[in-house]
Structure 1
Amino acid sequence: MYEVLKKSINESDEIIMNVSFIRDSGIKLLINELKEAKEKGKKIKILTSDYMRVTEPNALYRLLEVGGVKIFDNPSNKSFHPKTYIFKKENQFEIYIGSSNISYSALVTGVEWNYNFRKEKDKEVAEILEEFGELYEKNSFELTLEWVREYEKRYRKNEYGELFDKDEKVENREIEPIKFQIPALYELSKTREEGYKKALVIVGTGLGKTYLSVFDSKAFNKILFIAHRDEILRGARKSFQSFYGDKKTYGFFNGMEKDNDKDIVFASISTLSKDEYLNETWFSKKSFDYIVVDEFHHSSSKSYLKVLNYFEPEFLLGLTATPDRNDNGDIYKLCDYNIAYECDFRVGINNGWLVPFEYFGIYDDTDYSLIPWRSGKYDLLALENALVVEKRVENIFKKYMEYRKNFTVGFCASINHCKVMNEYFRKKGIKSEIIIGDTPIIKRQEIIERFQQKKIEVIFTVDIFNEGVDIPCIDTLLFLRPTLSYTIFIQQLGRGLRTFDGKDKLRVLDFVGNYKGAELRPAFLTGEYKREKSSINVIDKNYLLPEGCSTEFDFKLIEYFEKLKRKNIKQEELVKLDYQKLMEVLEKVPTIMETYTFGEIPVHMYIKTFKSWYNFQKEIGVLNEQQKNYSQKAIEFLSFLESTSMTKSYKMPLFLALFDTLNREQSIEKIGEYFKKFYQNKRYAKDLNNKKHMEWENWSNKKFEKLAEENPIKHLTKKGKNMEYFTYEDRIFSLNKELYEEILKNKELLKEIRERIEYRVINYFSRKYMEG
């Protein structure tokens, strides 16, 4: 069927496919022919379904580029089993009806029966086309990026689907995108179409981040790959060379080698960032079309910032497994807050890219209510003393012996906690070691090597391993400390989810007590942790785990979770707790944008709960002296910027005209220029989608002036409260004089105004157009 379908696609004028499911193994055999058919202007209609969730999200991501694809609308989950292929060439129809869906097995290796006939349009052909039209036009919906994103989240790999791929041959095949790379490549292509020149991709270790950059860089000539360790650079070169072969030239730019004229340069950040090299003698600002920064969570350091601020590539790709939230720098801002793709653990497990987990929530009778709680965390010394009690350590060891597999990592609260656990396990005859931040690299590598050779059974560490430590054999995790951070919990869980020969599941032993945030554990494990909603319990209907995962909680914990759930913690306390955690992580008072970027509760919930950002900061006592001296008018203006209605983004370029560089007055001509510049950015152009915006790309400045006058200016200067802030006379838009003079004298106030405008722009487009 593969050969005849390929031939028919190439030779036909119109292509119709009606199949119950599409596997990635099958569509990648036909995708190039379908893309060529689209480019030649051939009519393409493809109907498939999500029936039994056999159709793979990756297959649908590929088909987004083809278009003409619809999904059978099947809310009642009725049986949907058609397998029909129709090709029209002039007046001739060639039709295949049979048993082959689009999978490798069905098209290449399986035993399938398909009936083929060729004829001009007659009553029989007309009936087939009519039946297809009924399904395609009236009983299906268009395949969209938004729908695929949602389908990817709920998709679960199952044995039924795997049957169709099991015979797929992989030997001697050219290197091609796999796993998360397929949707990530589509999202990166889409994000460039929208005008972004920078993007961040967040995906777990070991899934193939480097190869993603290999495939994504195909359309660019000169490529720069930046990393902080030589082994990363050498591994990256192997990946790029295995794909491009001798079509490209390769070189290193590090302490030993200085290749600056190759097609692809692999650069050590410590060398590249030196002033003696970061200049026109060695590199022009536009030396590279495409720049990749591996381990992008380092990018807010001085050396990376120097490099990123120097070069002007056509596109910048940041890669990271987990953005390091202990870094004061804002890496998201460096990528224009554009997270092109993120593969969370649910998607990874459901697609079979990561192993499932079996989780055991073990009751810990430590009374955490007796431990002092300060600035978003427990007092470390008091916590240590509570965690190293002999009874607790004995219970941990007992459970370890009961449940252990082969390769165990235990996460502890502190270095001292690590040492106590290590000593106890050694006394009991277990071969254990500790790895902490101060462990020398050579020593760390030696421990890991012995661990992988089964010469060490347990490694105790604090929080998570530093990046670059990749141990796929880990099959048992011990969570020995409290954490109410979803990010830290998932980072720790992720250390054991890597696939490995002979490893079918990850086992997690979590010692859970009455500490703050304990009731969030069930929500964490589902991957559906919603920051705005209350916690769920394991006995709730919406407690749904990723495919193949299981959990078992001690009954005392289930009772405890239910009790806390009924107690219903006030939203005010949750918001304050989130901010306190953030202060501890960033080691400073977080701004509104830092909270938007790093917080686990959305900023709009802060504003909704406390009526304004200023009120919230005042309530928890973090206002600085400048903020305390703001006039009431300034405070109200900040609140106005946070809450002013936005059915369109028109107000934002208007505000930028006043505050981008502080001006009390701005002519309508200048405002028109700001509007034009704002909407020429493809990221914002999508908001000009009404009939009145027809052919806006060709608008003169006058038309943008008219747009500004008719909507935001008219709205902001009509009688009412806004008159306190703005006026419009003689084609001049003006800011209140008193307010302007206060802003002029107070840089902190101007900074806060600009940040609120930035927040409204980013939040508006991300929420309205489902970006990021």
Structure 2
Amino acid sequence: MNDKYIGNVKRYDLIYKYYKKYHSKRALGFCSSRMHAEEMAKEFCRRGVKSVAVYSNADGEFSEERNRAIEQLKNQEIKVIFSVDMFNEGVDIASLDMVMFLRPTESPTVFLQQLGRGLRISKGKEYVNVLDFIGNYEKAGRAPFLLNGSACVGERTAYDYSEIEYPDDCIVDFDMRLIDLFREMDKKSLSIQERIKQEYYRVKELLDGKVPTRMELFTNMDDNIYEYCMKHSKENPFKRYMDFLYEIHELSAEELQVYSGIGREFLQLIETTDMQKVYKMPILYSFYNEGDVRLAVTDDEVVENWKKFFDRGTNWKDFPKVTSYEEYRKITDKQHLSKAKSMPIKFLKASGKGFFIDKDGYALGIRDELADVIKVDAFKHQMKDIIEYRTMEYYRRRYVEN
């Protein structure tokens, strides 16, 4: 990616030309890498525009500590800050009069966070100029609606952009050619599958490029999109997360190895097994065994994990005839084991597609064909993530319904 932006004299000339055209006093440019930010600061300084680069663990010739750079910009000791992932959100420089997009982003939300750096009100500030040298405008079709506080999750249809109402004292002036572009984008209208993918990429950016787990995707996902996923099983990535990652080429080499074998079938089973009650989860935790996955679990191991699970928080309330924690504590190990065997263990054997089986001397076992894959770290991580996510989603759903 850096090859496109670094050492490209024509590109430097173009950026400088439009920067000068709009007479900025305080500008912020979003760059793709440390090297990119350093080179942009170097080029602008060479052309007589005092600039610095801001990024984490800064140690370059033109780098500056973030808070120091902000003060210098506010005091007009410098004219431009070239930044890498340091000003997406949470930092205000209200007097900014220019935002420059010098790097691509997969996420409309990150695009709008970056745009928002220039939308703060400041005494004497009448406007902000936005210079897009990347084509991030392709993500900007939602900008008019997000600027007026709308949320749009489902399919979008054509709108009259001239009739959109913005907050008091806010004037949004889009070039007529951009209005035409928005309308063309409306015609193509993103499918919900594309919205989910974009939301995934936004969360990935929040995690500094790390592939989100199910729990991390849930934790950071837009509530409206998540609720849509829950109501539409076919598009729900949480019901087929490894498939989802495979389709967008996000599985690691080790995960691809798991995905291509019997491990994938087992993981998909526990990802989709029916869960009117939460009782299957402590059984699965028995097998997971803190990452040392077992092929079979004894009566004692089932009871140990069962009690550990229901001792947590108010999980004990899942016992229908128990009205207090004191009553729950009176349940004997024998009674716990009986409930585990008569309900989740019985149902796992019945509906487990042959993966959950009887084994002599054990409460429950899984097929020996899984012996190799359960030792693979990628399998262990996926198994843990599924159990944690499904437990969380069960209690979230129960809380919402109550």
Pairwise same-fold verdict (TM > 0.5): yes
- Aligned partner letter, 1:651: K
Matched residue, 1:479: 100
Instruction: Kindly provide the CA deviation profile for residues 580-602 of structure 1, in whole angstroms up to 9, marking residues without a partner as x.
Output: 77499756665545555667776
Partner of 1:679: 310
Partner Cα separation in structure 2 for residue 561 and residue 497 of structure 1: 20
Q: Which amino acid aligns with 2:304?
A: E
Q: Which residue, out of 410, 435, 440, partners 2:28?
A: 410
Q: 1:595 and 1:542 mapped to 2: Cα distance?
A: 35
Contact 1:418 1:462 in 2 (8 A): no
> Partners of 2:211 and 2:65 in 1: how far apart?
37
In the aligned structure 1, how far is the partner of 2:89 from the partner of 2:221? 25
Corresponding residue for residue 53 of structure 2: 435
Identity score, percent:
24
The answer to whether residue 332 in structure 2 is matched with residue 738 in structure 1 is no
Matches within 5 A, 1:88-127: none
Alignment-mate amino acid for residue 308 of structure 2:
K
Question: In the alignment, is residue 608 of structure 1 matched against residue 236 of structure 2?
Answer: yes
Instruction: Spell out the pairing of 1:450-489 with structure 2 (5 A cutoff).
Output: 450-454=72-76, 456=78, 458-465=79-86, 472-481=93-102, 482-486=104-108, 488-489=110-111
Q: Which residue of 2 aligns with 1:646?
A: 275
Residue 131 of structure 2 is matched in structure 1 by: 511
SS in structure 1 of the partner of residue 131 of structure 2? strand
Match for residue 297 of structure 2 among 666, 673, 677:
666
Alignment of 1:136-151 (within 5 A): none
Tell me: CA distance 1:563–1:448, structure 2 relative to 1, closer, same or farther (3 Å): closer
Query: Which residue in 2 is equivalent to 1:708?
Result: 340
SS in 2 for 1:655: helix
- In structure 1, what residue type is equivalent to 2:241? W
Q: Deviations over 1:336-361 (max 9, x none)?
A: xxxxxxxxxxxxxxxxxxxxxxxxxx
CA distance in 2, matches of 1:730, 1:542: 72
1:388 aligns with 2:11: yes
Per-residue displacement from partner, 1:278-313 (whole Å, max 9, x unpaired)?
xxxxxxxxxxxxxxxxxxxxxxxxxxxxxxxxxxxx
Mapped to 2, the partners of 1:722 and 1:433 lie a distance apart of 62
| C-alpha spacing 1:418/1:571, structure 2 compared with 1 (3 Å) | farther
Between the aligned partners of 1:616 and 1:467, the Cα distance in structure 2 is: 27
Distance in 1 separating the partners of 2:65 and 2:237: 50
| CA separation of 1:396 and 1:651: change in aligned 2, threshold 3 A | same
Contact 1:408 1:459 in 2 (8 A): yes
Query: Residue 3 of structure 2 aligns to a residue in which SS?
Result: helix
Letter in 1 for 2:141: E
State how many pairs are aligned: 374
Which amino acid counterpart does residue 293 of structure 2 have in structure 1?
Answer: L
Classify 1:651/1:569 alpha carbon distance in 2 versus 1 (closer, same or farther; 3 Å). same
Deviation at 1:745, TM superposition (A): 4.5
Which structure would you say has the larger Rg? 1
Q: Is residue 717 from structure 1 mapped to residue 346 from structure 2 by the alignment?
A: no
Deviations 1:86-119 (A, max 9, x none): xxxxxxxxxxxxxxxxxxxxxxxxxxxxxxxxxx
Kept in 1, the 8 Å contact 2:54–2:82? The answer is yes
1:387 to 1:568, Cα distance in 2 relative to 1, 3 A: farther
C-alpha displacement at 1:674, in angstroms?
A: 2.2
TM-score by length of 2: 0.70
- 1:666 deviates by 2.9
TM-score, length of structure 1 as denominator length:
0.40
SS at match of 1:474: coil
Q: 3-state DSSP class of the match of 1:735?
A: strand
Instruction: Indicate the SS of the match to 2:293.
Output: coil
Asked whether the 8 Å contact 2:94–2:120 carries over to 1, the reply is yes
Shift of 1:459: 2.1
Task: Determine which structure has greater relative contact order: mean sequence separation of CA pairs < 8 Å that are 6+ residues apart, divided by chain length.
Answer: 2
Q: List aligned pairs for 1:104-183, cutoff 5 A.
A: none
> Where in structure 2 are the equivalents of 1:24-423 lying within 5 Å?
379-383=1-5, 385=8, 388=11, 390=13, 393-398=16-21, 400-401=22-23, 408-413=26-31, 414-415=36-37, 416-420=39-43
Answer yes or no: is the 8 Å Cα contact 1:537–1:543 preserved in 2.
no
Could you tell me which amino acid in structure 2 is paired with residue 647 of structure 1? Q
Structure 2 unaligned runs (5+)? none
CA distance in 1, matches of 2:377, 2:30: 44
Secondary structure of 1:646's match? coil
User: How far is the alpha carbon of 1:637 from its aligned partner?
Assistant: 1.3
Tell me how far apart the structure 1 counterparts of residues 298 and 53 of structure 2 sit (CA, whole Å): 63
Mapped partners of 2:339, 2:167: distance in 1: 49
CA distances 1:232-285 after superposition (whole Å, capped 9, x unpaired): xxxxxxxxxxxxxxxxxxxxxxxxxxxxxxxxxxxxxxxxxxxxxxxxxxxxxx
Greater mean alpha carbon deviation, residues 460-469 or residues 731-740: 460-469
Using a 3 Å threshold, how does the CA distance of structure 1 residues 627 and 474 change in structure 2: closer, same or farther? Answer: same
**Contact between 1:411 and 1:464, CA under 8 Å: does it hold in 2?**
no
CA contact (8 A) 2:41 2:62 kept: no
Aligned counterpart in structure 1 of residue 174 of structure 2, from 553, 564, 586:
553
Distance 1:470 1:618 in 2: 36
Distance 1:592 1:386 in 2: 43
Aligned CA distance change for structure 1 residues 418 and 524 (closer, same or farther; 3 Å): farther
The whole-number CA distance in structure 2 between the counterparts of 1:704 and 1:543 is 60
TM-superposed CA distance for 1:753, in Å, is: 1.6
CA distance in 1, matches of 2:277, 2:126: 47
Deviation at 1:611, TM superposition (A): 6.9
- 1:435 is paired with a residue whose SS is strand
- 2:379 is aligned to 749
Q: Distance in 1 between matches of 2:151 and 2:268?
A: 29
Where in structure 1 are there 5+ consecutive unaligned residues? 1-378
Whether the 8 Å CA contact 1:479–1:508 is kept in 2: the answer is no
Structure 2 residue aligned with 1:265: none
Deviation sequence 1:671-704 (CA, Å, 0-9, x none): 343233213222x53x836753422542214454
Q: What does the per-residue CA deviation read over 1:465-518, in whole Å, with 9 as the maximum and x for residues that have no partner?
A: 47999665534342333534355435535645778xx64978433235754423
- Give how far 1:724 is off: 0.6
CA distance in 2, matches of 1:708, 1:568: 49
